[in-house]
Amino acid sequence: MAGRMLHIASAHSGSPRWLAIQHRQLAEHLPVPYVTWGSVAGIDSSHAAGFDHVIEQKGPEAGKLNHLAVEVCQVAAPDDLLMFLAPDAFPVADPMPVIEEALARAPLVAVRRSENDGDPQPHPCFCVTTVGTWQSLPGDWSDGYPWSAPGLGRVTDFGGNLLRRLELSETPWVSIERSSSSKLDPLHFGVYGGIVYFHNANEIGRVHRLDAPRPLPGAGTPLLGRALAAAEAQRRLAWERGLLRRSARDSEEIFRGISAGGTEWLERIGHNPSAARPAG
Amino acid sequence: MTWASLEGIDPAEGVHFDRVIEQYGSHAGKLNHLAMEIGREAADDDLLMFLDGDAFPIAEVMPFIERGLGQAPLIAVRRAENVDQPQPHPCFCVTRVATWRSLRGDWSPGPVWPGGQGWEVTDVGSLLMRKLELAGLGWVQVLRSNKRDLDPLYYAVYGDVVYHHGAGFRAENLSATHRAMAPDLPGADASGLARRPEGRLARRRKERWERSMRRRLEEESESFYERIAAGDSDWLSELI
Q: Do A155 and B24 touch (CB under 8 A)?
A: yes
The residues spanned by each domain of chain B are 42-237
Contacts of A70 in chain B (CB under 8 A): 127, 130-131, 134
Give the pLDDT score at A1: 59
Q: Do B33 and A164 touch (CB under 8 A)?
A: yes
Angle formed by the axes of helices A160-168 and B27-41, nearest 10°: 10
End-to-end CA distance of chain B: 29
Q: Which residue of B has its CA nearest to A70?
A: B131
Amino acid occupying residue B99: T
Contacts of A138 in chain B (CB under 8 A): 104, 106
Amino acid occupying residue A33: P
Residue A280 lies in a domain: no
The interface residues of chain A toward chain B in range 215-254, judged by CB-CB distance below 8 A, are none
Cross-strand bridge partners of residue A110: A127, A175
Give the pLDDT score at B176: 80
pTM, full prediction: 0.92
pLDDT tens digits, B165-201: 997 655 567 888 888 888 887 777 666 555 677 788 8
CATH number (domain holding residue A122) = 3.90.550
pLDDT tens digits, A98-118: 999 999 999 999 999 999 999
Contacts of B22 in chain A (CB under 8 A): 146, 154
Cα–Cα dist B144/B166, whole Å:
12
Q: Which residue of A has its CA nearest to B38?
A: A168
Give the pLDDT score at A280: 56
Give the pLDDT score at B131: 98
Beta strands A34-41 and A53-54, pairing class:
parallel
Cα–Cα dist B158/B185, whole Å:
34
Residue to mutate among A45, A131, A142, A163, with most B CBs inside 10 A, is: A142
Give the pLDDT score at B168: 62
Contacts of B111 in chain A (CB under 8 A): 56-57, 67
Task: Choose among B24, B40, B108: nearest Cβ to A66.
Answer: B108
The full DSSP string for chain B is: --EE--TTS-GGGGGGSSEE----S-HHHHHHHHHHHHHHH--TTSEEEEE-TTEEESS--HHHHHHHHHH-SEEEE--TTTTT--S-EEEEEEEEHHHHHHHT------B-EE-TTSSEE--TTHHHHHHHHHHT---EEE-B--SS-SSSSSSEEETTTEEE-SSSS-TTS--HHHHTTS---TTTT-HHHHTSHHHHHHHHHHHHHHHHHHHHHHHHHHHHHHHHHTT-SHHHHTT-
Residue A208 lies in a domain: yes
List of chain A residues with pLDDT < 70: 1-2, 218-224, 277-280
The interface residues of chain A toward chain B in range 108-167, judged by CB-CB distance below 8 A, are 135, 138, 140, 142-146, 154-157, 160-161, 164-165
Cα–Cα dist B215/B209, whole Å:
10
Q: Do A161 and B29 touch (CB under 8 A)?
A: yes
Task: Choose among B25, B104, B120: nearest Cβ to A160.
Answer: B25
Q: Which residue of B has its CA nearest to A58?
A: B110
Provide ipTM, 2 decimals: 0.92
pLDDT tens digits, B72-120: 999 999 999 998 999 999 999 999 999 999 999 999 999 999 987 778 9
Q: Compute φ and ψ for A98, nearest 5 degrees.
A: -65, -45
Domain count within chain A? 1
Residue A1 lies in a domain: no
Give the pLDDT score at B195: 61
Range of the domain at A15: 6-275
